[in-house]
Structure formats: structure tokens, C-alpha cells
Amino acid sequence: MAGIAVEYFLFVMISCCGVLQFVATRWKLSGISFFNRTTFGYLFAVLAVGGSFSWFFTIEDRCVPGIEGAEVFALFIAGSLASFIITASLSSVIKRKLRLSVKQHNPEEDPGLDCLRRMTYFQALARHLRKKGRG
């Protein structure tokens, strides 16, 4: 039982990383994208989603009793959160150069996720905390 739970968690996490790269590329959220070229973003998304589905559904027969509905839901939430943390961290390291545009950026213009078009997640968060500390 623990085996399938770990496998499902990994499957969701990798798939969600792929989905995040797809949306980052499609909606130009450079701050959470790993790549500068759109082709690489889409390619990563296809490989991550396709690869994780192929892996999860071929390593073992999934038509056997496994995890229950509530556990599946909890594992999906945990996997998707983990994928966001990984994506935000990795893209913050890769896209350090975006800091140049942070100085010119007025966060009032881009509320919420739109801010990630110009800066990485942790840059945006640090800016928010600094602003809160001052005000």
C-alpha cells in the first residue's frame, strides 16, 4: 500500500511540474518557467506529463485494489504543492537575472500571478514582505 502511495505521489508531482511549465510557457509566466525558449517549455511539459503517465501505468497493473478516494485526494494535493515548491525554487535559481526588471517594476500593475511575468516567485514574495515590513 505504501508503495503505490509513493508512486502516485511521484506521478502527480512530476505531472504537475510538466503542467506548470506548460502554463508558464503558454501564459508567459517567465518567473516560474525553467526555459527562455517556448519550444523547450512545451517539450518539457510533454515529456514530464507523458513520461510520468507512461511510468505510473506501465510499471505495475493498476487494475488492482489500491489507495482509497480520500487518500488519492490528499496525495494529489501534496504532490501538486510539492511540484509548485520545486518549480518556484528551481525557476528562482535559473531566472536570477530577472532581478534587473524587478527594480523597474511596480507591483500594483500586476496583481497576483501576473507579477510572475516579470520576476521569480521568491523575488515577488521578498518584495511583498519588505513592503509589509516598511508599511
Residues that bind another protein (CB under 8 A): 8, 11-12, 15-16, 19-20, 22-24, 26-27, 29, 49, 53, 56-57, 62-66, 69-70, 72-73, 76, 80, 111-116, 121, 124-125, 128
For the chain, the farthest-separated pair of C-alpha atoms sits apart, in whole angstroms, at 57
**Rounded to the nearest whole angstrom, what is the least distance from the CB of residue 41 to another protein in the complex?**
13
Stated as kind and residue range, the H or E segment containing 45 is helix 38-59
- Of 67 and 94, the one with the shorter C-beta distance to another protein is 67
- Report the residue number, 94 or 113, with the smaller CB distance to another protein: 113
Pick 29 or 98: Cβ nearer another protein:
29
Nearer to another protein, 37 or 60 (CB): 60
The least CB distance from residue 101 to another protein, in Å, is 16
Q: Fill in the DSSP letter of residue 31.
A: G
C-alpha cell at 59: 510499471
Q: Compute the least distance from the CB of residue 124 to another protein, in Å.
A: 5
CA torsion sign, 41 to 78 to 31 to 122?
negative
CA 86 vs. chain centroid, Å, equals 6
One-letter amino acid of 36: N
Rounded Cα distance, 46 and 129, in Å: 35
